[in-house]
Structure 1
């Protein structure tokens, strides 16, 4: 099995981190309060868990020998469900402008006996060989939004953002050669790729405590060694327990497709995260 250094457990620090982020200035409110405080808050933080269904494909191949076949990593033993940190923060620095930060992520590993030949970079695993696989993705999103329409209980606008994708795939294999069980080696692919994103967002206060929000974005880019596209969408229902603290339930989608031209091997990454999120929120 592949072994990876342990990552810090975000959830063990969940409540202490939430308190540290939310407590400062929590009592500060706008002089001209909106119908719902979510439309007034200078700072908004959402921190919780994302329950994702994940679909992942990857390829690493020598383009001189043709286009490599995508490998479905869930068919190599990765779980197609994952639970990860959900983080979203927003700074409303003027009446109509805001700056946002979000995070998506997954980190999974698995093992499977394969019923077809697997090729990934220099690694070749024959039929009935065993493949150990790991995949991690950390997606950081920074976006700037402008509200074209804003009232005391609703706003609608456009956003421009950048997705920074930190991706890492590793495969190792074992197989029978003659009468011997042989270690076939390891192959990996990793990249740190920026992809822009543009889209629309909206928010509507149903009551003084309950608000619904949504966002949709897309962008395609072919620049230098990167050729990719990203689609994002989300919807959330936020309930304020007080003027400052609340809780919420939402749904998010991230669909990411990226080709990277390297010196020897080209790489292809394709994955989709989608599923519900639950979170605590704070606005001040």
Structure 2
């Protein structure tokens, strides 16, 4: 998990050696009180699944969102970043990434069980048509400090807070069922439901990272960052690794274009329980894993 972080640190060593060359005269334009808006998208390859409960025998099995529920493996996903740079070395930043996918399966091959946010447990039978939505929004708020600056480079560290919003929705002919309880009488009853939504919101928890900037040619800047954070709320826990390397081409004083590569991995585990006859029953164990590795492009405006 930390191999990409180590790679980034090793790549920083030659960057520092080049940056200390006195013959290089390029200058990074350091302007206090600078506002930067960055809007773009990255091409993602995703692999996600959840470990759910078999309603007939109570056993667990992995339900793959791509192969079993027809969610796309590759797509472009949007992101937004805002940075406020002040006092030469300080940076305040806010960013948002959207990982939204929806697909329809003509006939589900595997029967499974899930619970919504109101602790209603639903049974999805094999053979029915099912529309699935899996949305993850990640919000980040943080602060960065340039602890090392040169004539044409800067290195810094960042600390921040992340919040993750997860929503899983199913739409189709679904039944309410909990085996071995008083609700077992409903296991053979199916209802046409417009939309069953299960959502979770993580509490803001800290993250830590490193970033670097290197001006290698007039109006051409190399930027990289590596970040890690973990989340935990009640029965939800997980982690995320975000490593990005881009090249920024300045078109003029205000506008820039960026292109690069992003490694983005998020792994979330959470348990679904419900209260039946004054007892908490575990009805499903979810594991949502994404691994996004691909190119990214954006448009940047600063003033």
Identify the residue that residue 79 of structure 2 maps to in structure 1: 86
Q: Does 1:72 align with 2:82?
A: no
Separation in structure 1 between the aligned mates of residue 122 and residue 246 of structure 2, nearest angstrom:
43
**CA displacement 1:178-237 (0-9 Å, x = unmatched):** xxx965656432111134321111110111200011111113354544322111111111
Counterpart in 1 of 2:245? 235
Q: CA deviation at 1:125?
A: 2.9
User: Structure 1 residues 67 and 162 mapped into 2: Cα distance closer, same or farther (>3 Å)?
Assistant: farther
Asked if 2 retains the 8 angstrom alpha-carbon contact of 1:195 and 1:230, the reply is no
Provide the residue aligned with 1:164 in structure 2.
163
Matched, 1:270 2:289: yes
1:72 shift after superposition? 1.7
1:67 Cα offset (Å): 7.8
Question: Does structure 2 retain, via aligned residues, the 8 Å contact 1:114–1:130?
Answer: yes
Equivalent residue for 1:120? 114
| Aligned-partner Cα distance in 2 for 1:70–1:49 | 30
Query: What is the CA–CA distance in structure 2 between the aligned matches of 1:271 and 1:95, rounded to whole Å?
Result: 36
1:190 partnered with 2:184? no
Q: Tell me whether 95-104 or 108-117 shows the greater mean CA deviation.
A: 108-117
- Whole-angstrom CA distance in 1 between matches of 2:284 and 2:205: 18
Give matches, 1:121-140, under 5 Å.
Answer: 121=115, 122-140=121-139
TM-score (norm 2): 0.70
**Gap runs ≥5 in structure 1:** 1-33, 176-180
| 1:203-222 alignment, distance < 5 Å | 203-222=213-232
Q: Distance in 2 between matches of 1:183 and 1:272?
A: 35
How many pairs were matched up? 246
* Residues 57/213 of structure 1: CA separation in 2 closer, same or farther (3 Å cut): same
Larger radius of gyration: 2
Aligned twin of 2:31: 40
Question: Alpha-carbon deviation of 1:66?
Answer: 7.2
Distance 1:279 1:244, change over 3 A: same
1:57 — aligned with what? 49
CA drift at 1:250? 2.0
Q: Secondary structure at the match of 1:243?
A: coil
Aligned match for 2:96, one of 92, 103, 113: 103
- Verify the 8 A CA contact 1:99 1:144 in the aligned structure 2: yes
1:236-255, aligned counterparts within 5 Å? Answer: 236-255=246-265
Cα distance in 1 between the residues matched to 2:241 and 2:226:
8
Taking structure 1 as reference, are residues 77 and 221 closer, same or farther at Cα in structure 2, changes over 3 Å only?
A: closer
Structure 2: give runs of 5+ residues left out of the alignment.
Answer: 1-25, 116-120, 175-188, 275-282
- What is the RMSD of the two structures over their aligned residues, measured on CA atoms? 3.2
